[in-house]
Amino acid sequence: DIDHLNLRVQKELVEWLNWLKADIGFDGWRSDFAKGYSADVAKIYIDRSEPSFAVAEIWTSLAYGGDGKPNLNQDQHRQELVNWVDKVGGKGPATTFDFTTKGILNVAVEGELWRLRGTDGKAPGMIGWWPAKAVTFVDNHDTGSTQHMWPFPSDRVMQGYAYILTHPGTPCIFYDHFFDWGLKEEIDRLVSVRTRHGIHSESKLQIIEADADLYLAEIDGKVIVKLGPRYDVGNLIPAGFKVAAHGNDYAVW
């Protein structure tokens, strides 16, 4: 174990981080298992190495009901993520992986898309509270891949990408999905829509519908995304919007 309260340990780790920046060319950090040490310690490393980007892995369990499914309200879960960023410094480069959104999205795409509208009418994950500091993802090396600890439904992965690549937050693309699953072209189309319309971490999200079989949202008044099997949504799409990407149970205008 590393004693992060030891001043020598702190000094040597900071020197190593600055060497990685100056000599190797890294400009961002990912803090693994950030629950294992305090946000105060993480703040020391970030403040003294000044990365352009830093993201923490704070993976805790969602709140579950008696039916074994996540509760609609996950405020306590996302509050923990927000608190970490607050303590490290909200004005700095620190962000966290949005495990709240990941957990809700896992279940929502299985015919429960109503979960994607929180009780306040906003996105139910960290992106609903502090999108600038939320790093969204569908799967990573722990949840998916060979470890398979908390995998996204494999036949609905593109619905996950249609969500995170059109929504606020900073989305991540999982290597396996992009290179090994044959989804490169589909994901690329969604990335190009995001880039072309300037969707960013603090884009404005307006949720139009969130029912069992339909989630429809507009982002920055420029992009509309639909998840779910319902097809009769033409009356909900404003004039002038054209389909830019589509696939199994998702479409983007």
Confidence of residue 100 (pLDDT cuts 50, 70, 90): very high
Conformational region of residue 55, where left means phi above 0, alpha means psi within -120 to 50, and beta covers everything else: beta
Q: Is 86 an active-site residue?
A: no
Q: Per-residue pLDDT for 1 more than 90? A: no
pLDDT of residue 149: 96
Extended strands (E) in 15-116: 28-31, 53-56, 94-97
pLDDT tens sequence across 225-238: 999 999 999 899 99
Q: Give me the chain's average pLDDT, please.
A: 97
Angle between helices 157-164 and 99-108 (to 10 degrees): 130
Report the distance separating Cα 169 and Cα 181, nearest Å. Answer: 24
pLDDT tens sequence across 128-163: 999 999 999 999 999 999 999 999 999 999 999 999
What is the per-residue burial (b if ≥16 Cβ within 10 Å, else e) of 145-184? beeeebebeeebbbbbbbbbbbbbbbbbbbebbbeebebe
Write down the residue that tokens 């060979």 correspond to. Answer: 146
CB 214 within 8 A of CB 227: yes
Which residue out of 12, 15, 23, 32 is catalytically annotated?
32
pLDDT tens sequence across 195-210: 999 999 999 999 999 9
Q: How crowded is the C-beta side of 73, counted as CA atoms within 13 Å?
A: 4
Write down the residue that tokens 């039916």 correspond to. Answer: 67
In the chain the domains, ranked by start, together with CATH numbers, are 58-203 (3.20.20.80)
Global pTM reads 0.97
Q: Is 176 an active-site residue?
A: no
Q: Is the dihedral of CA 100, 102, 106, 109 positive or negative?
A: positive
Q: Per-residue pLDDT for 2 more than 90? A: no
Write down the residue that tokens 């961002």 correspond to. Answer: 28
Mean pLDDT, range 97-123, rounded to an integer = 97
Q: Which residues contact 213 (CB under 8 A, 6 or more apart)?
A: 111, 113, 228, 229, 230
Confidence of residue 190 (pLDDT cuts 50, 70, 90): very high
Q: Which residues pair with 252 in a beta bridge?
A: 225, 245
Q: Rounded to a whole number, what is the distance in angstroms from the first to the last CA of the chain? A: 50
**Own/partner pairs for 73-77, CB < 8 Å, 24+ apart?**
73/118, 73/119, 74/100, 74/103, 74/104, 74/124, 74/125, 77/103
Which residue out of 47, 57, 80, 176 is catalytically annotated?
57
Mean pLDDT, range 62-73, rounded to an integer = 95
Mean pLDDT, range 92-110, rounded to an integer = 98
- Residue ranges of alpha helices (H) inside 153-196 are 157-164, 175, 184-196
Quote the distance between the C-alpha of residue 230 and its chain's center: 25
